[in-house]
Amino acid sequence: MPQFVTNLTNKVFALWNQFYWLPEWAVISIITAVFVFIGWAANQVVFALLKLAVRNRDVFWKGMLGRARLKVRIAVMIIALALAVTVSPLDPEPSLFIRRTLLFAFILVCGWILAGAVDMGAVVHLKKFNMDTEDNLYARKHITQTRILQRVAAILIGLITLGLALMTIPGVRQWGLSLLASAGVVGIVAGLALQPFLTNLIAGIQIATAQPIRLDDAVIVEGEWGRVEEITSTYVVVKLWDWRRMILPLTYFIQKPFQNWTRDDSRLIGVAFLYVDYEAPIDRLRVKLESIAHASPLWDGDVVSLQVTDITARVAQVRCLTSARNASLAFDLRCEVREKMLAFMRDECPQALPRDRVDLDRNGQRILPPLHGEGG
């Protein structure tokens, strides 16, 4: 490649000697225009051939070709300008400055192309999954994983591209090396400043691989119930039941305990507690709960159960269990069970409602129990 550039330069200089009567700026302009035109024409021909080549290929290559068209055109123009500056009769100092600037821009464009390829791959992959289905656990798993890894890849590509581009500028490179060599405090401060960012970046990779949470998971965090609405490279947005948004760092879901109601399955058992009198007919309540579940479109046809789980000084605690296909339906089913069981006890089974009991003597006076320590 250097030999080719050298030969091309010699030929251009020989041609320039034949047009010695033209001013230098005119020759430079002509050479630049010629190289830019050649680059533009080559770009058009190559993309026309690529368009024919991917005509019968999958969506990825077609989308990649459409996304990369402008970026590759810019890269080709940069190469054409660099060749034009190299072979033109420009003074060495401005020629070197322009070529370094073009190299800096070319590296950034290459990173832009690579990031676009990653984005296109993610888009094509995500089209395979549908979040609108009722049992979307498989889709949520892959969408969460893909989006997190996509953002992490974009950050890494951006950092590497910018680092490589800055390495082409001697002044900036030397400034960075001198700072690290002469003041270790700068490196420590930079490390401390980047620690939260790097910690969240690593946490994002852990979440993408281990997947303690996924998009649309039903979770309880900080005592609040909500759904995972968005997972970025640094934080998670949880949409709470009352439409508020709770913003949490990625490290929260790695370092702190939380409840994930849809970790392995979207189906859920909802619980509703009732407090009834000792004389409540538990069998009738159980039959009523079963009839409520069978009549409700929210019930998934699996779990329905009523049990006495505790007895206090005044009432018995009854637990009603019903299952549903997802967390939202389970919540609505729990509310329906409470409402209809309360109406049943009020209208058809009043003896189940909690009551206070007192003992009265023959004169209607309340009989108080003996104080502690007194004889009976």
Specify the pLDDT at position 22: 58
What percent of the chain lies above the pLDDT cut of 70?
76
Give mean pLDDT, residues 291-306.
94
Per-residue pLDDT at 54 exceeds 80:
no
Q: Which of helix, strand or coil describes residue 322?
A: strand
More confident residue, 372 or 267: 267
Per-residue pLDDT at 6 exceeds 70:
no
Q: What is the DSSP letter of 369?
A: P
Cα separation, 206 vs 255, in Å, equals 11
pLDDT in tens, 131-164: 767 667 677 777 877 887 888 888 888 877 877 7
Specify the pLDDT at position 240: 92
Per-residue pLDDT at 267 exceeds 50:
yes
Q: What domains, with CATH codes, occur in the chain?
A: 1-128 (no CATH), 131-265 (2.30.30.60), 268-352 (3.30.70.100)
As to burial, measured by CB atoms within 10 angstroms (0-12 exposed, 13-18 middle, 19+ buried), residue 36 is: middle
pLDDT band, very low/low/confident/very high, at 126 (cuts 50, 70, 90):
confident
As to burial, measured by CB atoms within 10 angstroms (0-12 exposed, 13-18 middle, 19+ buried), residue 270 is: buried
Per-residue pLDDT at 257 exceeds 60:
yes
Specify the pLDDT at position 198: 67
Q: What is the pTM of this model?
A: 0.50
More confident residue, 17 or 105: 105
pLDDT in tens, 159-212: 778 777 877 777 766 544 443 444 344 344 445 445 566 677 778 888 888 889
Specify the pLDDT at position 176: 40
3-state secondary structure 336-347: HHHHHHHHHHHH
Give mean pLDDT, residues 206-219.
86
Give mean pLDDT, residues 99-116.
87
Per-residue pLDDT at 4 exceeds 70:
no
pLDDT band, very low/low/confident/very high, at 53 (cuts 50, 70, 90):
confident
Give mean pLDDT, residues 313-340.
92
pLDDT band, very low/low/confident/very high, at 315 (cuts 50, 70, 90):
very high
Specify the pLDDT at position 376: 41
Give mean pLDDT, residues 305-333.
92
Per-residue pLDDT at 375 exceeds 50:
no
Give mean pLDDT, residues 44-68.
73
pLDDT band, very low/low/confident/very high, at 46 (cuts 50, 70, 90):
confident
Cα separation, 83 vs 11, in Å, equals 13
Per-residue pLDDT at 69 exceeds 70:
yes
Specify the pLDDT at position 19: 53
Per-residue pLDDT at 343 exceeds 80:
yes
Q: What is the mean pLDDT of the chain?
A: 79
Specify the pLDDT at position 195: 59
Q: Which residues pair with 239 in a beta bridge?
A: 227, 245
Give mean pLDDT, residues 76-92.
79
Specify the pLDDT at position 124: 78
More confident residue, 72 or 1: 72
Specify the pLDDT at position 15: 56
pLDDT band, very low/low/confident/very high, at 338 (cuts 50, 70, 90):
very high
